[in-house]
Chains A and B, each alone.
Chain A
Amino acid sequence: MNNRIQAMYALLIAVAMFVAAWFFMQSVHGGPSSARAAVAARAAAPVAIDSTRCVASAEWMKSHHMQLLNKWRHDSVREGNRTHVTSDGRHFDKSLNTCLGCHASNPMFCFMCHEYANVKPTCWNCHVSPMEATK
C-alpha cells in the first residue's frame, strides 16, 4: 500500500520535471529570434522625423518617458533594433536625439518639469543638454 503511494509520488515528480523542462525550453526558444531581428536591422534606413506629433500622447509621456527611454536604449544599443513603430504606424529612430530633435527647441523643456517635481536625473552628466548645446 505504502509502496504504491510512493510510486505515485515518483510519477508525479517525473511529470512535474517534464513540464518544467518543457517550459524552460520554450522560454529559451524565444531568445535567438530577437537577435536575428537585430541583424536584419543593421542597415537601418534613416527615419524621417515627424515633428508634428510625439511618439505617444503627452499624458503617457509625462508618466512613462523614463521607461520609454530605458527601453529605447536597450533596444538600440544591445539588440540593434533602432526603429520604433507607434501604434498608428509612424516610424521613429530610437535615440535621445529623436526627442531632442523637437524638444530642444525649448531648452528648458526637461528642466522645468524636473525642477518642479524635484527629481534629479543624471542624463546630462554625459549627454549634452539642450541648455549647453545652445550655448
Chain B
Amino acid sequence: MNQQRRDFLRKAGLGAIAGLGAAAGMFPLFALEKTDLSGFSEKPMPGKVRWGMLIDTRKCREGCTECIARCHHDHNVPDFGKTKNEVKWIWKSGYEEAFPTASRQFQQPEVKERKVLTLCNHCAEAPCTRACPTEATFRRWDGIVSMDYHRCIGCRFCMAACPYGSRSFNWQDPRPAVKELTTAYPTRERGVVEKCNFCAERLVKGQLPACVDSCPERALLFGDLNDPNSGLRRALDENETMQRKPELGTLPSLFYII
C-alpha cells in the first residue's frame, strides 16, 4: 500500500473519532432519547397507562361461555367449525395447559380439572412484536399489544413466537364464517393473523372490554397496572395471584387467582 494513502487514512480516522468525541461531549443529556421503562417498572409512570386484567378462576362458572360468545360476536371472529383452523380471541383451557410450568406438586384435583379463561396476555415484553417483520403487531402506548391487519403479510412468525397460543391464522376467507356480522367492527381477510385487542375500540369510548362487561359472575377485573390506587392493583395487593409462564420473562398483563 502507498505510504501516503496509509498516512491519510490514519489522519482521517483520527479526525472522525475526534469529531464524534467532540459531538458526544457537547450534547446535553436531555437531547438523548430516554428509555421508556413503564412496561417493566413496578412503580407507576405518571400519565402512562398499562391496561391489565385479573381473572378469578374460582368465580368463573363451569360451562359458561358468555364472555367468549360476546367477544367473538363483537369482533366478527369467524367459526370454521374445525379445531385445525380455529380462530380464537378468548377461550378456555385446562389448568395444566394454561399453567404447564406451575411448580406445585400434588395440586388439588379440583383445581387441576378447572377450566381457565385464556386470552392474549398483552405482555410488557411481547415476543410477537419482536418477531413481526413488518411491525404489523406492536405494543401500544397503553400496554395493549395491538395489530394492524393492513400490514400483516401472514408469515406467522408471531404465532411461533407467542408462548400462549394467543394468535390465530385465517387460512380461509373469514367473512362467510362469521355467523352474525357486526357492522360496528371490521372482519379480517384470508392470510392474516388475528388476536385479542383488549377491546381497544371500546376503551376509546370509555367502556370496559366486552368480556369484562359480559361476565355474569364478575370474575374479570380490568384496570391500570401503573396506577397503585386502581381497583386492579388493590386486588393484586390483597390476593395471591399468578401469571402464565412467568419464567419466560414476557411480563404478562394478565393475572390469575387460582
Q: Which A residues fall within an 8 A CB radius of B?
A: 2-3, 6-7, 9-18, 21-22, 25, 28-29, 31-32, 35, 38-40, 42-44, 46, 73, 77-80, 82, 122, 125-128, 132-133
Total A-B pairs, Cβ < 8 A? 94
Beyond A16-B19, A32-B34, whether A126 also contacts B186 by CB under 8 A is: yes
Q: Give the docked Cα–Cα distance between A73 and B112 (Å).
A: 44
Question: Would A31 and B33 count as touching, CB distance under 8 A?
Answer: yes
Q: Is the interface of B mostly helix, strand, loop or mixed?
A: loop
Interface hub of B12, B19, B31 (most chain A Cβ within 10 A): B19
Residues on B with beta carbons closer than 8 Å to the beta carbon of A78 = 138, 140, 148
Question: Would A80 and B140 count as touching, CB distance under 8 A?
Answer: yes
Q: Give the docked Cα–Cα distance between A6 and B6 (Å).
A: 11
Interface locus among B20-28, B64-72, B120-128: B20-28
Residues on A with beta carbons closer than 8 Å to the beta carbon of B188 = 126
Q: Give the docked Cα–Cα distance between A62 and B256 (Å).
A: 52
Q: Contact residue range for chain B?
A: 35 or more
Question: Residue-by-residue, is B133-163 near A (CB-CB < 8 Å gives 1, otherwise 0)?
Answer: 0000010111000101110000000000000
- Nearest B residue (CB) for A43: B206
Interface hub of B150, B188, B189 (most chain A Cβ within 10 A): B150
Residues on B with beta carbons closer than 8 Å to the beta carbon of A12 = 15
Residues on A with beta carbons closer than 8 Å to the beta carbon of B48 = 39
Residues on B with beta carbons closer than 8 Å to the beta carbon of A44 = 204
Question: Would B19 and A80 count as touching, CB distance under 8 A?
Answer: no
Residues on A with beta carbons closer than 8 Å to the beta carbon of B206 = 43
Q: Give the docked Cα–Cα distance between A42 and B38 (Å).
A: 16
**Other-chain residue from A13, A17, A39, A79 in contact with B23 (beta carbon distance below 8 A):** A17
10 pairs from A and B in contact (CB 8 Å cutoff): A6-B7, A9-B15, A14-B18, A18-B22, A21-B24, A22-B23, A39-B141, A39-B142, A126-B188, A133-B183
